[in-house]
Amino acid sequence: MDITVNILLTIATAATPLLIAAIGELVVERSGVLNLGVEGMMIMGAVGGFGAGYLTGSPWIGLLAAIALGAVFSLLFAVMTLSLATNQVATGLSLTLLGLGLSGMMGTSFVGQPGARLPNLDIPGLTAMPVIGRLLFGQDPIFYISIALTAAVMWFLFKTRTGLTLRSIGDSHTSAHALGIEVIRYRYLAVIFGGACAGLAGGHLSLVYTPQWVENMTAGRGWIALALVVFASWRPWRVLAGAYIFGAVWIGQLHAQAFGIPVPSQLLSSLPYLATIVVLVLISRNKRLTMMNTPASLGQPFVPDR
């Protein structure tokens, strides 16, 4: 029983950063913007979170720094693609390349240093309950944020007027503009929200998952988060399911390596990436369904006429 609980806990820890980054990107894409810079914003969050936590000794300040750095970094993308109408694919790529370089440079002196770790929740009486105690009341704070975030985004997108407006912009920025909606302003806010989420996801990696700084420690998670959004057909609860499936794959291959299964460890390590490809193929096979779900103006630059 204890082993099952432990495995479930590690799966949740592996799934949390994927979930947060993907939920943020989902909101961005629902507004019609494709930000391929998730990996870059995430690694900036990771290095910023670790650095602030390490320098101040407080993981909570680290957490805030991670969110702030991700948001500021995404602002760069927003200015380029929204105000200057640059190609979103190329700009997102350059954000990722810049983030990987910048984080490597900022983190040079952090390598090998012990970091601050966010403490797990501990409620007297509740956390000590058998089985469900640690699952429900004993996880790291970002886990609870991730679940709340998913619920909040679900409510926002489908139950509020602003959410409806955001979705309508994603489906047709021209019509939305004609109705007097400030397309660019909505998109700015969406992109910055996505950046803050990616930063938080990165912070989870360097403040909870492995409280240390390793170069390129995001290891493609930002890209997997992007794939998750496609896999989820732009629906929040499916992102939640997808993130936990991928978390399970990630943990599964780590456990398999630890048990010494006679398969090359490199093959096991490549499983999350191969699984991403397989999942993408399965989901995109049905062309009509994909087209129906995809925000119609996704990735297209918009310049308001006047």
Judged by the rule CB under 8 A, the positions of this chain that interact with another protein are: 36, 76, 80, 83-87, 89-91, 93-95, 97-102, 104-105, 108, 219-220, 223, 226-227, 230, 264, 266-267, 269-270, 273-274, 276-277, 280-281, 284-285, 287, 290, 303, 306
**Three-class SS of residue 47?**
helix
Cα four-point dihedral sign 156, 161, 166, 167: positive
Question: Is 53:61 a contact under the CB 8 Å cutoff?
Answer: yes
Q: How far apart are CA 114 and CA 211, in angstroms?
A: 7
> Which region holds residue 156: left if phi is over 0, alpha if psi is between -120 and 50, else beta?
alpha
Whose Cβ is closer to another protein: residue 145's or residue 189's? 189
Minimal distance, residue 263 CB to another protein, in Å: 10
Nearer to another protein, 86 or 210 (CB): 86
Smallest separation (angstroms) from another protein to the CB of 96: 8
Kindly tell me which of 59 and 70 has the beta carbon lying closer to another protein: 70
- Report the 10 Å Cβ neighbour count for 44: 31
- Nearer to another protein by Cβ, of 164 and 267: the residue is 267
Residue 6 CB, shortest distance to another protein, in Å, is 27
Minimum distance, C-beta of residue 187 to another protein, in the bound complex (Å): 14
Q: Is the dihedral of CA 25, 28, 30, 33 positive or negative?
A: negative
User: In the complex, what is the shortest distance from the CB of residue 120 to another protein, in angstroms, rounded to a whole number?
Assistant: 30
Q: In angstroms, rounded to a whole number, what is the distance separating the alpha carbons of residues 301 and 306?
A: 16
Measured from the CB of residue 298, what is the shortest distance to another protein in angstroms?
11
**For residues 140 and 158, what is the distance between their CA atoms, to the nearest angstrom?**
28
What distance in Å separates the CA atoms of residue 65 and residue 121, rounded to the nearest whole number? 21
Count of CB atoms within 10 A of residue 84's CB? Answer: 11
Q: Of 39 and 140, which CB lies nearer to another protein in the complex structure? A: 39
Q: Which is nearer to another protein, 80 or 118 (CB)?
A: 80
